[in-house]
């Protein structure tokens, strides 16, 4: 009898926890605002979250590349909105403005698509490095 009761209680706890756990964490994945801590290793600047130059920040989930790109864009003078790691509409618009400026002012041939990829990363890191 005790074994059956213990099994039933354990099962109930597991089921209840599985159902309520997502609600307990709802909104925490993107609500956090991150701080940026810049360092320079010429010819590039870094914000302390991602050191590479190939990962494209996600528009749906928090990524270190997303935080890094948002920090660098903000430091460059192109406001991406809240530094939350999700590379959404505001971040993409900031990246497009950055790409356009680099093409017009410095003769780059970056795609003006708002995507921070393998061509935009080095330009963004260099620009921030020499701007600070």
Bridge partners (DSSP) of residue 41 are 44
Residue 30 or 22, more confident: 30
pLDDT tens digits, residue range 89-121?
Answer: 999 999 999 999 999 999 999 999 999 999 999
- Chain-wide mean pLDDT for the chain? 84
CA distances from 41 to 44, 47, 71, 87, 125 (A): 5, 11, 16, 25, 10
Q: Give the pLDDT score at 1.
A: 52
- What is the C-alpha radius of gyration for the chain, rounded to an integer number of angstroms? 21
Q: Please tell me the chain's helix, strand, coil percentages from 3-state DSSP, rounded to the nearest 5.
A: 55, 5, 40
Residue 15: pLDDT above 50? Answer: no
pLDDT at 10 over 60: no
Cβ neighbours of residue 86 closer than 8 Å, sequence gap 6 or more: 30, 58, 59, 60, 61, 62, 66
- Higher pLDDT residue, 86 or 16? 86
Percent of the chain with pLDDT over 90: 74
Residue-level pLDDT at 3? 52
In tens, the pLDDT along 39-66 reads 999 999 999 999 999 999 999 999 999 9
Q: Which residues pair with 45 in a beta bridge?
A: 40
Q: Which of these, 46, 64, 56, 130, lies nearest to 92 by C-alpha position?
A: 56
């Amino acid at each position: 009898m005790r074994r059956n009761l213990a099994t039933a209680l354990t099962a109930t706890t597991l089921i209840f926890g599985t159902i309520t756990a997502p609600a307990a964490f709802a909104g925490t994945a993107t609500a956090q605002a991150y701080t940026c801590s810049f360092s320079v290793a010429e010819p590039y600047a870094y914000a302390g979250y991602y050191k590479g130059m190939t990962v494209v920040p996600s528009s749906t989930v928090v990524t270190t590349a997303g935080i890094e790109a948002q920090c660098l864009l903000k430091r460059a003078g192109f406001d991406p909105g809240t530094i939350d790691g999700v590379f959404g509409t505001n971040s993409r618009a900031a990246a497009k403005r950055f790409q356009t400026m680099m093409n017009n002012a410095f003769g780059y041939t970056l795609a003006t698509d708002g995507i921070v990829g393998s061509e935009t990363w080095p330009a963004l890191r260099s620009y921030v490095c020499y701007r600070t």
